[in-house]
Amino acid sequence: MHPLLKRDTWRFIDQSITMKSRTPLESFAMDDTLCQLVGQLQSSATVRTWVHDNTVVLGIQDHRLPFVQEGIQLLNEQDYQAIVRNSGGLAVVLDSGVLNISIILSEQQEAININEGYDVMVDLIKLLFPEACDKIEAYEIIGSYCPGSYDLSIGGKKFAGVSQRRLRQGIAVQIYLCIEGSGSERAKLVKDFYDVSLKEEETKFAFPKIRPEVMASLSELLNMPLTVQDTVFRLQAVLKQLSNQNMVQSLNEEELELYTFYLKRVLERNEKMLAKK
């Protein structure tokens, strides 16, 4: 277990229900807010859970696709909205069967390199699913959406991807966990988006060639009726084991003012990114 997981106090913010019908842009603003608060030692290290209804979260490169507006139209026709996130990576799918977890740490007192940040998240996920601990591997799954060296998979099938956001000496390590439903159906949606947005046109950036069969949900991989809420309960239990004190609390009035600042910034940036070219 990574030493950064064991600490005196973890702050826990559960937005797995309250954020569902809201835009994921609010979650990115929340993580930016927590990055500043934790990074400047105004808050304990924090774990936050979040779930959003049908959204495809695009990366910065995705919004440069030659026919991206047609791709977004396809997503809209499938009852998905599209936004552009402020952390790295490419398109990912969010829906009610996908649990997102953010770990927010401060490196004001000790530097945390990029790989170390990822390792903290991988170790947390292994603690969450002890029945699969020895099967979970972290390496790039070719053919998955948003591929990266810290893709989490079982038997070569990806169920999670990790990204990082660094701001004001705070680090938000973010993971999406496909818990319920069909991982391959989510991957097919992203494949269709790229097919329409690219139309086989040559681009400077190499977008992934999606193979839906290399992606699955954890409930499929573990062959058990696992749910998002089951996983949130597991996480709460793990955090109790990892700390002497747990603070389950939302933002206070002063923190909400900072959140309003970051939300305005995120909304304006997203609007600019998705402006029709």
- Range of lowest pLDDT (94-108, 194-208, 219-233): 194-208
CA angle 210, 139, 28 (to 5 degrees): 70
- Across the range 206-222, mean pLDDT stands at 96
Work out the pLDDT band at 262, boundaries 50, 70, 90.
very high
For 29-74, what is each residue's pLDDT tens digit? Answer: 999 999 999 999 999 999 999 999 999 999 989 988 999 999 999 9
Q: What are phi and psi of 114, to 5 degrees?
A: -60, -50
In percent, the amount of the chain with pLDDT more than 70 equals 98
Question: DSSP secondary-structure letter at 1?
Answer: -
Residue 88: pLDDT band (50, 70, 90) is low
Q: Which amino acid makes up residue 194?
A: Y
Q: How confident is the model at residue 248 (pLDDT cuts 50, 70, 90)?
A: confident
Strands 137-138, 152-154: pairing is antiparallel
Tell me what the mean pLDDT of segment 75-93 comes to: 89
Asked whether residue 117 carries a pLDDT value surpassing 90, the answer given is: yes
Q: Which amino acid is at 201?
A: E
For the question of residue 178 being annotated catalytic, the response is no
Q: Tell me the backbone φ, ψ of residue 46, rounded to 5 degrees.
A: -130, 145
Q: What is the DSSP string of 250-265?
A: ---HHHHHHHHHHHHH
Scanning the structure block, which residue is given the tokens 């070569």?
156
Q: Which of these is catalytic: 35, 133, 146, 178?
A: 146
Between vectors from CA 151 to CA 229 and to CA 76, what angle results, nearest 5°?
65
Identity of the residue numbered 83: I
Domains of the chain as residue ranges with CATH: 3-273 (3.30.930.10)
Q: What is the pLDDT of residue 273?
A: 80
How far apart CA 178 and CA 198 sit, in angstroms, is 26
- State the alpha helices, DSSP H only, in the chain: 24-39, 68-77, 114-128, 183-198, 218-222, 228-242, 253-273
**Residue 85 confidence (pLDDT):** 83
Q: Is 40 left (phi over 0), alpha (psi -120 to 50) or beta?
A: alpha
For residues 48 and 26, give the distance between their C-alpha atoms in angstroms, rounded to a whole number: 13
pLDDT in tens, 127-183: 999 999 999 999 999 999 999 999 999 999 999 999 999 999 999 999 999 999 999
Distant-in-sequence, close-in-space partners of 250: CB < 8 Å, separation ≥ 6? 13
